[in-house]
Amino acid sequence: MDSLTQVVLGTAVGEATLGKKVGNKAVLYGAIAGTIPDLDVVAVHFTDNVTALEIHRGFSHSFLFAILFAPVFGWLISKIERRGPATWKDWSRLMFFGLVTHSLLDAMTTWGTKLFWPWKLPVAIQNIFVIDPLYTIPFLVFVVWTMFYKRDNPKRRKINRLGLMVSCGYLCITLVLKAAVYFQFTGALADQGIEYSAIKTKPGPLNVILWHANVMAEDEIYLGEYSFFDTQPIALHPVPKNHHLLGDLHQDPTVRQLIRITEGWYTVQKDEGRLFLNDLRFGLLNNDPINPRFSFSYELVQTGEGTIVTENDKGREDIGKLLRELWFRIKGN
């Protein structure tokens, strides 16, 4: 999830864990716990782009990281707050729950999270977009509301508990919606006689009304979208895999690493002599599945020393136009 949402979640978890004993300090350290796993992004400054992609949401988002480092962070906080009523075990418990809930929420997004690192299989439930105002804003209101009460006021705990219940309830609703969407897409595939080996469904940007699907076929990956307000059948647009365009690059270690990151959901294209590998897991930059521009596209440049992988410039998109198109599409086809 985005940084704000993770901070809000961390503050609520911190309050629930230790708010009665230390008040707003629990909120502060909960927010810190909700931020720590994403510090793995600094890897981009120390390694190549592809390795940095593989590191992101890896060890720092795992259960193992929480188990090993929660006591370390708890010990550090206990030294800083040594005059307070909380013990090392109290702070360690707060940090553990702050780290774990961060990773569990990330596992519900498209990126996926390596919860069971060192096993590299990512967990990606894909029932919520990385930025979802309907999840974050109500949660934020409850957290801020909580902070207006003293730590020994029972209303403080009730409000924070209510905020956690609302946020968890929303996540449960998204799981129900995802199940309903799955049956819509599989029904459309059956009606259109499309044979496939795998399907992934995920919500569109900023909402859970419009959903997208990637469908793996033999030579294509079909792209489709469905809004709960749609009245017309689902249209599924094939995008050729073109994996043969990689040629000998199939054996290049860097390219193989990038393919492993995409989990097989990739296409290859040539544009004016330049070779691109598109990661289809994260949707489109435009609202045109027939002439798609992918959110994550990588140019592959072969040199004498190996293959250089560069993320394609997303360009300066008209955000206002994209939001208007999104709103128009949410309202139905």
Written in H, E and C, the secondary structure of 130-161 is CCCHHHHHHHHHHHHHHCCCCCCCHHHHHHHH
Residue 323: what pLDDT? 85
CA distances to 237, 262, 266, 282, 291 from 221, in Å: 8, 13, 8, 13, 14
Distances (CA, A) of 295 to 80, 83, 205, 277: 43, 50, 12, 12
Q: How far is CA 249 from CA 50, 265, 271, 303, 306, in A?
A: 15, 17, 17, 11, 10
Q: Would you give the end-to-end CA distance of the chain in angstroms?
A: 29
pLDDT of residue 84: 87
Give percent helix, percent strand, percent coil of the chain, each to the nearest 5: 50, 20, 30
pLDDT (0 to 100) of residue 284: 83
Per-residue pLDDT of the chain (333 residues; tens, 9 = 90+): 888 999 999 999 999 999 999 999 999 999 999 999 999 988 767 787 788 888 888 999 999 999 999 999 999 999 999 988 999 999 999 999 999 999 999 999 988 899 999 988 889 999 999 999 999 999 999 999 998 899 889 999 999 999 999 999 999 999 999 999 999 999 999 999 999 999 999 999 999 999 999 999 999 999 999 999 999 999 999 999 999 999 989 889 999 999 999 999 999 999 888 999 999 998 888 777 777 888 899 999 988 777 888 887 766 566 777 888 899 999 998
In this structure, are residues 56 and 29 in contact, taking their beta carbons and an 8 Å threshold? no
pLDDT recorded at residue 316:
58
Yes or no: say if 94 and 75 are a contact pair by the CB < 8 Å rule: no
39 and 105 Cβ atoms separated by less than 8 Å: no
CA 253, chain centre distance (Å): 26
Residue 302 pLDDT: 85
Q: Which residue has the tokens 């290049």?
A: 252
Instruction: Determine the pLDDT at residue 2.
Output: 86
Q: 3-22 and 88-106 are packed helices; what angle lies between their axes, rounded to 10 degrees?
A: 150
Class of residue 165 by CB neighbours under 10 A (exposed 0-12, middle 13-18, buried 19+): exposed
* Strand stretches in the chain, DSSP E: 198-203, 210-216, 220-227, 236-240, 266-271, 274-284, 294-303, 306-311
